[in-house]
Structure 1
Amino acid sequence: MKLTKEEYAEMLGSQSPPSNLLLDMVWAFVVGGLICTIGQAVSEFYKSRGLDQTAVSAATAITLVFLGGLLTALHLYDKIAKKAGAGTLVPITGFSNAIVSPAMEFKSEGFILGLGAKLFAIAGPVLVYGISASVIYGLILFFIS
């Protein structure tokens, strides 16, 4: 069966539940802001322990990645993400979720062919293109400075 773009759009529209765009944006903003607020609180906690700014930044990132992974392992992150959308995907906790989810899904296939091979299935392309873009931008900056 060959569908035109219009037929496919009509079929998709009839099968997809309607979305309240404004409410979705508010939820993304609130949950994303809450994640950032938690990150700031974690950062302030580490600052109060006398760490320098570099150590605070590293400890905060590690803590947020851990919390994102923990919430994913407890099957809570996906429930939050279903409601908040991009509010949970954009912060560093979303990266953690993108790493842990495939690892949990394919762990039954073993450590090498399951966990090892699928660990970066979602986050891998982001890392490749992110690192590549940063190298290109760095080179451009190096040569024009």
Structure 2
Amino acid sequence: MDKIQKKKREEQYKKYVKTKTPVHNLFANMTRAFITGGTICVIGQGILNYCKFQKMPEDLGGAWTSLLLVLGGVILTGMNLYPSVAKWGGAGALVPITGFANSVAAPAIEYKKEGQVFGIGCKIFTIAGPVILYGIVTSWVLGGIYWIGKLLG
């Protein structure tokens, strides 16, 4: 293949890639993420305010808030609605605790047909596992840095 044909082929390939690559509007994506994440946070704050109104201790109200947000994320995942929310809201739906609940529930639902052990048991932490692992490792490293800092004064 001579250089002219190779160059022409590369140009055709670049043109093909350009037609297939989705174009993203950063401002629109950030706005949707902000709206989605903000809505989830407003719902969480509403639950927390209701718990305070019921004279619940703050730590118990926080636990109920987390529990209900996780439950909501799992229910929306089970009803196949959370993927649509995540597609529209991007990181605004994936970063909060509801996104974590979705990342655990979705593989469990998808692989339940393979059985309790090899389906749900093996696949449930496919997405959430690395998040847990790196969260623990990061916490350990930061705790070590804090401990050394306290020793040094």
1:75 and 1:128 map into 2 onto residues whose CA distance is 27
Aligned CA-pair RMSD: 1.8
2:51 and 2:75 map into 1 onto residues whose CA distance is 20
Measure how far apart 1:17 and its partner are: 2.6
Match of 2:56, SS state, is coil
Measure how far apart 1:123 and its partner are: 0.4
1:61 and 1:21 map into 2 onto residues whose CA distance is 30
| Structure 1 residues 134 and 18: CA distance shift in structure 2, 3 A | same
2:104 and 2:132 map into 1 onto residues whose CA distance is 11
Which aligned segments of 4 or more residues in structure 1 are displaced greater than 6 angstroms? 6-10
Bigger Cα Rg: 2
1:122 to 124, 127, 130: 127
CA deviations over 1:112-140 (Å, ceiling 9, x no partner) = 00001100000000100101110111121
- What stretches of structure 1 of length at least 5 have no aligned partner? 1-5
CA deviations over 1:41-79 (Å, ceiling 9, x no partner) = 011111112211111111111110110011000111001
Letter in 2 for 1:124: G
CA deviations over 1:10-59 (Å, ceiling 9, x no partner) = 65433133222211111111111011000000111111122111111111
Letter in 1 for 2:147: F
CA deviations over 1:81-100 (Å, ceiling 9, x no partner) = 11111110111100000000
Find out whether 1:73 has 2:78 as its counterpart.
yes
Q: What TM-score, normalized to structure 1?
A: 0.90
Measure how far apart 1:9 and its partner are: 7.2
1:23 to 9, 24, 28: 28
Q: Percent identity?
A: 42
Match of 1:37, SS state, is helix
Find out whether 1:90 has 2:105 as its counterpart.
no
Q: What TM-score, normalized to structure 2?
A: 0.85
